[in-house]
Amino acid sequence: MLVAERYEKIVQLVSERGSIRVSELSELCQVTEETIRRDLDRLEQAGRLRRTHGGAVSLKDQQPEIPYFEREITHAEEKKRIAQAAIKLIQPKNRILLDASTTAWYMASNIPDIPLTVLTNSLKVAMELSSKEKIEVISTGGLLAQRSLSFVGPLAERSLDAYHVDMVFLSCKGVHIQRGISESNELQARVKQKMIGMADQVVLLADSSKFGVQAFTRVADLNQVDAIITDRRISQETLDQLADRSISVTTV
């Protein structure tokens, strides 16, 4: 098989399946995994697919993030109540991590000016906290995702490796009982995976509209979540399923 033919076959397989692993492509194309990795790098540079850890995904399945100003007004009242409940979990001198969700921004807006260390990948959260003298703010830095005003990418991920926090407060695109937490794209998902792995306690902030939704990229299993704060519109069936998994749920 000529190199150009192999490229076309790889793109076709990725397009048909949505995602595929290096080991599968190696077997199907009858070349080494190292060759496949080089092929995927070149095809990504050509804009024909997106590389992932261990494989590739189709560009047509990538879901765009909802712009921040739209998320800000969607289910706003529920998010504000969720944020207020989350703030009650914070104690002076805690080290916490806030993601780039609008709910985390509502938290930043209303957190009292007490001694805290707050790590965040959100431009808006960092700016909101900048006026509070007793709160030390650490920004991850990284590639600025314009739609979410969040820092993502390898630099943001490496920055998170340097820290450990008492609690992480994060939201997501979807919460599925069997398939776990998911995000709209891989860059956001990878940052949130890092966040979950560096905290003693993981608090998921998710309004009821997000339950039952499976977005494009998996972030984590629900068993990695310690507590969920949601609104009162969540179904009793979902509450029972979460109780079966011994996940603490607060409804507001």
pLDDT digit string, tens, across residues 122-179? 999 999 999 999 999 999 999 998 888 999 999 999 999 999 999 999 999 999 999 9
Rounded to an integer, the average pLDDT of 201-214 is 93
Q: What integer pLDDT is reported at residue 242 of this predicted model?
A: 95
Residues 47 and 76 in one domain: no
Cross-strand pairs, 143:
152
Q: What integer pLDDT is reported at residue 19 of this predicted model?
A: 81
Residues 12 and 47 in one domain: yes
Residues 41 and 116 in one domain: no
Label residue 60 by pLDDT band (50, 70, 90). low
pLDDT, one tens digit per residue, over 171-205 is 999 999 999 999 988 889 999 999 999 999 999 99
The residue with greater pLDDT, 230 or 215, is 230
Q: Which secondary-structure segment (H or E) carries 1?
A: none
Q: Does 72 score more than 60 pLDDT?
A: no
Q: What integer pLDDT is reported at residue 74 of this predicted model?
A: 59
Q: Does 62 score more than 70 pLDDT?
A: no
Residues 115 and 226 in one domain: yes
- Which range (13-17, 70-74, 88-92) has the least confidence? 70-74
Number of domains in the chain: 2
Residues 211 and 127 in one domain: yes
Residues 96 and 56 in one domain: no
Q: Which of the listed residues 39, 60, 81 is the one where a domain comes to its end?
A: 60
Q: Does 41 score more than 70 pLDDT?
A: yes
The secondary structure of the chain in percent helix, strand, coil, rounded to multiples of 5, reads 40, 25, 35
Q: Does 70 score more than 60 pLDDT?
A: no
Residues 153 and 43 in one domain: no
Label residue 45 by pLDDT band (50, 70, 90). confident
Residues 9 and 131 in one domain: no
Label residue 66 by pLDDT band (50, 70, 90). low
Q: What is the span of the domain harbouring residue 27?
A: 3-60
Residues 75 and 54 in one domain: no
- Which range (53-67, 143-157, 217-231, 232-246) has the least confidence? 53-67
Phi–psi pair at 55, nearest 5 degrees: 180, -145
Using the CB atoms, write b or e for 204-213: b if 16+ within 10 Å. Answer: bbbbbbbbee
Average pLDDT over the chain reads 90
Ordered DSSP codes for 160-187: HTT--EEEEEE--SEEETTTEEEESSHH
Q: What integer pLDDT is reported at residue 241 of this predicted model?
A: 94
Residues 161 and 134 in one domain: yes
Query: What share of the chain has pLDDT > 70, as a percent?
Result: 94
Residue 41: which CATH number?
Answer: 1.10.10.10
pLDDT, one tens digit per residue, over 100-118 is 999 999 999 999 999 999 9
CA distances (Å), 129 to each of 4, 145, 149, in order? 53, 20, 15
Residues 98 and 176 in one domain: yes
Q: How many residues does this entry show for the chain?
A: 252
Residues 181 and 211 in one domain: yes
